[in-house]
């Protein structure tokens, strides 16, 4: 039952995420910095567009904590909840259904600013992000729920989005493990290969359009 729900919702989501005119699949590299943590990660953001300007954000990236042997993962809070439900052998069918439905809850809602054809800015308000750290070989882990505000500048050429698109986010995270609350920034670049640019994406990268 779990595998069925996960497969069906995954197929539906990725079909929706790649069916829009705007670039809706972005590969990205970012740095996460707080007063006590500095981590890096590489992954993707699925960004389905509703209408011409409104967006939803579904990120997933994996990396490490600088100077330590720690796994770092950034995702939506809903996806973190879903993974925990699917890994819990005592969960019932109702919990599995709720977890599968949670797959559609985004980390943030955003808006493209500028002309309909060539927006030059994307702003987003995040209300359900999740950062997770796990120390290799030890039981130590830290899970933080985050709220964020992000801005992404969209440089363009005559053919559409350029390949590299910078972004920055300011966020506040609260730890589930020790109650620590910190402000931080997340900054990096998105890679947006699309069929209209001269850049040819590798075979494993879905096109942005």
DSSP 97-127: HHHHHHTT--SEEEEEES-SSS--EEEEEEE
Task: Examine the pLDDT at 35 and tell me if it is beyond 80.
Answer: yes
> 114 lies in which domain range?
2-191
CATH code where residue 143 lies: 2.40.160
* Any domain includes 209: no
- Specify the pLDDT at position 11: 46
* Any domain includes 200: no
More confident residue, 85 or 38: 38
DSSP assigned state of 155: -
* Any domain includes 201: no
Give the global pTM: 0.76
CA distance linking residue 27 with residue 140, whole number of Å: 29
pLDDT level of residue 208 (50, 70, 90 thresholds): very low
Task: Examine the pLDDT at 197 and tell me if it is beyond 80.
Answer: no
- 16-25, 115-124, 177-186, range with the lowest pLDDT: 16-25
* Any domain includes 6: yes
- Three-state secondary-structure class, residue 16: helix
pLDDT level of residue 17 (50, 70, 90 thresholds): very low
* Any domain includes 204: no
CA distance linking residue 28 with residue 54, whole number of Å: 20
* Any domain includes 23: yes
pLDDT tens by residue, 84-140: 666 665 666 666 666 666 778 899 999 998 876 677 889 999 999 999 998 887 878
Tell me how many domains the chain contains.
1
- Specify the pLDDT at position 157: 65
Residue pair 101/78 in contact (Cβ under 8 Å)? The answer is: no
pLDDT tens by residue, 43-65: 999 998 888 889 999 999 999 98
More confident residue, 35 or 1: 35
């Amino acid at each position: 039952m779990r595998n069925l729900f996960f497969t069906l919702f995954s197929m539906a989501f990725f079909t929706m995420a790649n069916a829009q005119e705007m670039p809706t699949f972005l590969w990205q590299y970012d740095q996460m910095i707080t007063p006590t943590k500095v981590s890096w990660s590489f992954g993707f953001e699925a960004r389905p567009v509703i209408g011409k300007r409104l967006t939803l954000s579904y990120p997933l990236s994996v990396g490490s904590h600088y100077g330590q042997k720690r796994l770092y993962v950034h995702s939506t809070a809903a996806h973190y909840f879903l993974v925990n439900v699917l890994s819990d052998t005592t969960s019932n069918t109702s919990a599995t259904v709720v977890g599968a439905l949670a797959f559609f809850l985004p980390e943030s809602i955003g808006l493209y600013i500028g002309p309909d054809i060539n927006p030059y800015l994307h702003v987003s308000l995040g209300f359900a992000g999740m950062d997770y750290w796990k120390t290799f070989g030890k039981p130590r882990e830290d899970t933080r729920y985050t709220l964020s505000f992000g801005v992404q500048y969209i440089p363009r050429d005559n053919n559409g989005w350029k390949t590299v698109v910078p972004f920055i986010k300011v966020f506040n995270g609260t730890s589930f493990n020790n109650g620590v609350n910190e402000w931080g920034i997340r900054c990096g670049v998105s890679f947006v290969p699309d069929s209209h640019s001269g850049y040819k994406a590798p075979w494993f990268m879905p096109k942005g359009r």
